[in-house]
A and B are shown apart, each in its own frame.
Chain A
Amino acid sequence: MKMCVRAGAAALAFVATVVAALAPTACTTRYSYKSASEATRSQAGAGFALADDASTSALPSVRSPVTQTWIIARAPQRGDAGLGGVDRPGTGSLVDANVGSDGLPTRAFPLEATDVDATLTGAVASVDVTQRFRNPYADTIEAAYVFPLPHDAAVSDFVLSIGDRTIRGVIRDRAEAEKLYAEARAAGHVASLLTEERPNIFMEKVANIEPGASIDVTVTYFSMIDYEDGWFEWRLPLVVGPRFNPPSVPPSKAIGAVGVGDSARSGTGTSIEYLPNGSTTGNRVAIDVAIDAGVPIREIVSPSHAVRTIRDGTSAARVSLEPGDGVPNRDFVLRYSVAAESTQFGLVSSRSASGEGGHFALTVYPPATLKERRRSPVDLVFVVDRSGSMSGKPLAQVKAAIHAALDRMQPGDRFEIVDFGSKANSLGRGLTPYTSESVRAARAYVDALNADGGTMVLEGLNRALSFATDEGRVCYLVFLTDGFVSNEKEIIGALHKTLGPRRVFSFGIGSSANWYLLEGMANAGRGAVADISGTGDGASDAAPTMATFLERVSHPAMQDLSVAFEGATVDEVWPRRAGDLLVGRPVTVFGRYREGDSSARCVVRGWIGGERVELAENVTFARSATTPALERIWARAKIAQLADDSTWQPNSAVAIANEIRTIALEHGISSPFTAFVAVDGSRVTRGSDRRTIVQPVPMPEGVRYETTVDER
């Protein structure tokens, strides 16, 4: 009996040991061990040097107790852990697939929610985007998520939140940040990395998310708010559309559009996994916008989403997304009109935190006399994207837009229609006078267009450029596209090299257009962008947009703008070449002013129909850091200019890249050559992170999965 009791007690003790060893307190064992070794190391390194005249104070040496657990290790083997082979998204795939009550597949993925907190003050937007990752799997994972931000966003902060703890990431050279992240991941630390794949496409990775653990990642950016025709417009992209990769794009620069779990097979540098139409993940977006316009607000609308608006006095308001409209499958657009006084210039300035002068954003409003000038005949070449991604509603919007334009054109105008998918076609062989016959033929041609094939924008551009133009008449290339391509730089560079005196207007089609490409094309072509992305049937969205467009192009613009400040030293004004001032559309430039400059006379010169015009007004620079974000917005504008230069100066690519890197590091903002990295070194996670879960995204509203996603 005694022996029996003894044996039973020993067995119980053993089981208790097992339970204790496998319980979370196992970490204690580990850290006790670590403490012992660290104690030795710290003793060896006692007496840390101090600068200045500080006194040295070392706390007494205390050796941590060593537990009686003894530990056996096999020497690490090749392939146990490390960087190789586990760093690529999609090297593993865990898909928790279930079928919901509606019969559609419902899947659990790491991205649980996205909270957007925006403050729109005057013309500057300050936005926090918080993504909440939660590991729904039984193993520790790495989560990878590709998401969009505005192409002009100066991303300046990156914060990890783990429970009550917050950890700020730092900006680093991109290669260095990627290496640090990989090392932290291999060492078992929670870490995160934010890289810029395009100015409007970012990749976020979060390593070592333990089962059931929640980690928030907050990205903060600043940008300017668009202003046209008395309306401010703030746009927040929520999903990246599926990109077409032309043969000219090397695989490392390509952006693949693949089905769930297919990233590893895409063979592209960046992959986005799309859910079939009708499927979503659990990720829902909550948006809260605080508006402080500084002037009375007349009206607030969102053409894209259902919102709830609460006014706070005459010039402030709070707008939030209705909870039932949080599927991130289209851009969020908020517009508000203001009762602004008629001025020539709008200046926002702020003294630099370093005390070396300051930065400013100058908005030049078009003179009212532009609209009063006589209408001129216009030459329009419609360049229509009829690729696979335009199938369905987007192509319907394009057709409606061209019909609306044809409705409003007048005798004396000329036009042509080019359409492109994998190859380009055209209605005729050159600009055709606007007649009832030509319009009838054009309508029939447009109605017969079908969406199919790739998105060879350059094919369409080359066809459009092949048409002869007349001296004395401005030819406008009117691109109607969703811009879902990955060779943006190639297209913008081609426009710089070949456009000549033509102008480019680009219309964003669909709910999630590629505004980086569209803006880049318009800037290279000294034109403007417009949005046809409403929730209507196409015709209702297109008609007012086309009316505004024709109003703009049929009146002369103020061209070849130059900006000068008399009485102040101003330099580094970006963009280097301001666009044309069109009816209703202002132009904004960013620059620096020297310390001590407080007021100046701003003079903008240009040409209207062969007549030299000068606009002048006294302005005052801020003497305090009233809008510190301006410095980073200015830096982002400079980077955008340099990136634009690199599209048509390939021989200077290395020098330009170095300059962009330097600017981004000094101002702490993202760029193609810098990245944010954040590491929580305080603990090593349980389990080893050997799987990467790529967060899939829903198809943009109106885009068809079957015509855009590469399924193998």
Chain B
Amino acid sequence: MHEASLRAQGEVPADIDAVIRARISTAFAARAGSDAARGLRLAGSDQERPAPRRPSLAWTRRVAIAAALVVAATVAWLAARPGFGNVERVAAHATLVQAVRAVDSIASRGEDRAVAIAHPGVQALLASIVALPAPSFEHPVGAARFVVYDIYLDPSQPVAGWTCDLSLPGQLVGIEGGDGPFSQPAAYDPRALAGGRVILATVAGGASASSRLRVASVTVRVEGSGEPRVTRATSVGDGGAAAPARVEIIERGTPYAAAALTNRGLS
């Protein structure tokens, strides 16, 4: 099926416009070609039989296609507005493509499909797909990348406070509170930050944590391809007694544990 070839596969070629144009043309041509092989005719083909009267779509189909085009035109108009953002434009592109597919589906017979392709509205729809502005999918070209790392603590005893020393692959720009008793954002050591280190610390706002939970998240302006590390960690229970815990850093949006460290607590 041609749909398979149209799936987003995670990489966006630089010449995406040309690729898409080619894919659309190919998709229609392939569908039309297979129909022709089954004995159906294409408008404007050079077959030997005398050219018949130009076929016309059934009324219901015309109404359906017109409705699709009206909606598609509305979407294209919305997407072209200045305040329309990346996510909306991405959705708009997908919608327009669905419109093409819907038109194709409605005009199921070869004759109808050929007429549909020649329809000025469909042509305009195809043109709008290519012309519609859209930012890139992850980050604008040349723009910075901001990544969130979640810090998890998996204690073997109830933990009332913790501190850890992080090595991050970029600049720390935000510290988010965690879950449960650690919902308040951790404090950082400005003196360490001035020296290029990140030291976080916080105490529980309520009852001690006794099971694995996110204790903080940090937003990092990533530079290069470095990796986050926990270089030191300490956790304590009520009263300041050592409370061994396992520390993990997980990049948000991925299910991978980026780093883990078993903290022995105060000794």
Whether A167 contacts B174 in the complex (CB less than 8 A), given A30-B90, A665-B194, A682-B217, comes out as: yes
Q: Which residue of A lies closest to B96 (CB)?
A: A72
Q: Does B115 contact A (CB under 8 A)?
A: no
CB pair B10–A33 under 8 Å, yes or no, is yes
CB pair B133–A77 under 8 Å, yes or no, is yes
Chain A residues contacting B139 (CB-CB under 8 Å) are 187
Whether A51 contacts B85 in the complex (CB less than 8 A), given A3-B58, A14-B99, A679-B174, comes out as: no
Write the nearest CB–CB distance from A3 to chain B, whole angstroms: 6
Q: Does A159 contact B (CB under 8 A)?
A: yes
Chain B residues contacting A51 (CB-CB under 8 Å) are 167, 229-232, 261
Q: Does B53 contact A (CB under 8 A)?
A: no
Chain A residues contacting B171 (CB-CB under 8 Å) are 172, 176, 180
Among A36, A72, A189, the residue within 8 A (CB) of B134 is A72
Q: Which residue of A lies closest to B140 (CB)?
A: A81
Q: Does B49 contact A (CB under 8 A)?
A: no
Write the nearest CB–CB distance from A666 to chain B, whole angstroms: 5
Whether A169 contacts B174 in the complex (CB less than 8 A), given A73-B136, A686-B87, comes out as: yes
CB pair A171–B95 under 8 Å, yes or no, is no
Among A37, A39, A677, the residue within 8 A (CB) of B173 is A677
Q: Does B175 contact A (CB under 8 A)?
A: yes
Question: Which of B98, B229, B232 has the most CB atoms of chain A within a 10 A radius of its CB?
Answer: B98
Given the complex of chains A and B, what is the CA–CA distance between A76 and B191 in angstroms? 40
Among B105, B183, B188, the residue within 8 A (CB) of A166 is B183
Whether A687 contacts B83 in the complex (CB less than 8 A), given A38-B251, A49-B227, comes out as: yes
CB pair A10–B64 under 8 Å, yes or no, is yes
Chain A residues contacting B97 (CB-CB under 8 Å) are 70, 72
Chain B residues contacting A54 (CB-CB under 8 Å) are 230, 260-262
Given the complex of chains A and B, what is the CA–CA distance between A585 and B172 in angstroms? 45
Chain B residues contacting A686 (CB-CB under 8 Å) are 85, 87-88
Q: Does B228 contact A (CB under 8 A)?
A: yes
Among the 9-residue stretches B30-38, B39-47, B142-150, B155-163, the one with 4 or more Cβ atoms under 8 Å from chain A is B142-150
Q: Does A699 contact B (CB under 8 A)?
A: no
Given the complex of chains A and B, what is the CA–CA distance between A164 and B177 in angstroms? 10
Please report which residues of chain A, range 440-471, place their CB below 8 angstroms from some CB of chain B when the two chains form the complex. Answer: none
Q: Does A99 contact B (CB under 8 A)?
A: no
CB pair A18–B10 under 8 Å, yes or no, is no
Write the nearest CB–CB distance from B91 to chain A, whole angstroms: 4
Q: Which residue of B lies closest to A192 (CB)?
A: B174
Q: Which residue of B lies closest to A15 (CB)?
A: B71
Whether A26 contacts B91 in the complex (CB less than 8 A), given A7-B64, A37-B138, comes out as: yes
Chain A residues contacting B61 (CB-CB under 8 Å) are 3, 7
Chain A residues contacting B92 (CB-CB under 8 Å) are 21-22
Write the nearest CB–CB distance from B174 to chain A, whole angstroms: 5
Chain A residues contacting B267 (CB-CB under 8 Å) are none
Among B12, B229, B250, B256, the residue within 8 A (CB) of A73 is B12
Write the nearest CB–CB distance from A47 to chain B, whole angstroms: 9
Please report which residues of chain B, range 90-136, place their CB below 8 angstroms from some CB of chain A when the two chains form the complex. Answer: 90-95, 97-99, 102, 105-106, 108, 129-136
CB pair A14–B68 under 8 Å, yes or no, is yes
Given the complex of chains A and B, what is the CA–CA distance between A81 and B102 in angstroms? 33
Whether A682 contacts B148 in the complex (CB less than 8 A), given A70-B7, A169-B174, comes out as: yes
Q: Does A685 contact B (CB under 8 A)?
A: yes
Q: Does A68 contact B (CB under 8 A)?
A: yes
Whether A186 contacts B143 in the complex (CB less than 8 A), given A166-B184, A167-B185, comes out as: yes
Q: Does B213 contact A (CB under 8 A)?
A: no
Given the complex of chains A and B, what is the CA–CA distance between A11 and B91 in angstroms? 18
Whether A35 contacts B248 in the complex (CB less than 8 A), given A40-B10, A138-B83, comes out as: no
Q: How many residues of B contact A (CB 8 A)?
A: 107
Given the complex of chains A and B, what is the CA–CA distance between A77 and B71 in angstroms? 27
Q: Which residue of B lies closest to A187 (CB)?
A: B143
CB pair A11–B102 under 8 Å, yes or no, is yes
Among the 9-residue stretches A58-66, A380-388, A646-654, the one with 4 or more Cβ atoms under 8 Å from chain B is A58-66
Please report which residues of chain B, range 32-81, place their CB below 8 angstroms from some CB of chain A when the two chains form the complex. Answer: 58, 60-61, 63-64, 67-68, 71, 75, 78
Q: Does A310 contact B (CB under 8 A)?
A: no
Interface string of A642-683 (1 = CB under 8 A from B): 000000000000000000001001111000000001111110
Please report which residues of chain A, range 1-27, place their CB below 8 angstroms from some CB of chain B when the two chains form the complex. Answer: 3-4, 6-8, 10-11, 13-15, 17-18, 21-22, 26-27
Q: Does A690 contact B (CB under 8 A)?
A: yes
CB pair B185–A187 under 8 Å, yes or no, is no
Q: Does B220 contact A (CB under 8 A)?
A: yes
CB pair A30–B188 under 8 Å, yes or no, is no
CB pair B102–A10 under 8 Å, yes or no, is yes
CB pair A678–B186 under 8 Å, yes or no, is no
Counted as pairs of residues, one from A and one from B, with CB atoms less than 8 Å apart, the total is: 321
Whether A139 contacts B83 in the complex (CB less than 8 A), given A22-B91, A187-B145, comes out as: yes
Write the nearest CB–CB distance from B75 to chain A, whole angstroms: 6
Chain B residues contacting A18 (CB-CB under 8 Å) are 71, 75, 95, 98-99
Q: Does A183 contact B (CB under 8 A)?
A: yes
Chain A residues contacting B12 (CB-CB under 8 Å) are 71, 73
CB pair A73–B93 under 8 Å, yes or no, is yes
CB pair A42–B90 under 8 Å, yes or no, is no
Chain B residues contacting A164 (CB-CB under 8 Å) are 183
Q: Does B197 contact A (CB under 8 A)?
A: no
Among A38, A45, A73, A685, the residue within 8 A (CB) of B225 is A45
Q: Which residue of B lies closest to A43 (CB)?
A: B256
Q: Which residue of A lies closest to B19 (CB)?
A: A72
Chain B residues contacting A49 (CB-CB under 8 Å) are 227, 229, 259
CB pair A140–B174 under 8 Å, yes or no, is no
CB pair A81–B135 under 8 Å, yes or no, is yes
Chain B residues contacting A33 (CB-CB under 8 Å) are 8, 10, 137
Given the complex of chains A and B, what is the CA–CA distance between A17 and B96 in angstroms? 10
CB pair B71–A682 under 8 Å, yes or no, is no
Q: Does B210 contact A (CB under 8 A)?
A: no
CB pair A17–B95 under 8 Å, yes or no, is yes
CB pair B133–A80 under 8 Å, yes or no, is yes
Q: Does A50 contact B (CB under 8 A)?
A: yes
CB pair B190–A665 under 8 Å, yes or no, is yes
Q: Does A122 contact B (CB under 8 A)?
A: no
Interface string of A309-350 (1 = CB under 8 A from B): 000000000000000000000000000000000000000000
Among A14, A82, A678, A682, the residue within 8 A (CB) of B140 is A82
Q: Does B86 contact A (CB under 8 A)?
A: yes
Question: Which of A40, A45, A662 has the most CB atoms of chain B within a 10 A radius of its CB?
Answer: A45
Chain B residues contacting A171 (CB-CB under 8 Å) are 190, 193
Chain A residues contacting B175 (CB-CB under 8 Å) are 167-168, 170
CB pair A170–B172 under 8 Å, yes or no, is yes
Q: Does A97 contact B (CB under 8 A)?
A: no
Write the nearest CB–CB distance from A266 to chain B, whole angstroms: 24
Q: Offer 29 A-B interface pairs, CB within 8 angstroms, sorted by A.
A: A3-B60, A10-B64, A11-B64, A17-B95, A18-B98, A21-B91, A30-B86, A30-B87, A33-B137, A34-B253, A36-B10, A45-B227, A49-B229, A50-B259, A57-B257, A66-B9, A70-B8, A73-B12, A73-B136, A74-B16, A80-B133, A166-B183, A166-B184, A180-B221, A183-B221, A186-B144, A187-B144, A666-B191, A686-B85
A interface residues (Cβ-Cβ under 8 A, vs B): 3-4, 6-8, 10-11, 13-15, 17-18, 21-22, 26-27, 29-31, 33-40, 42-43, 45-46, 48-52, 54-62, 66-77, 80-82, 138-140, 159-160, 164-172, 176, 180, 183-184, 186-189, 191, 354, 662, 665-668, 677-682, 684-688, 690
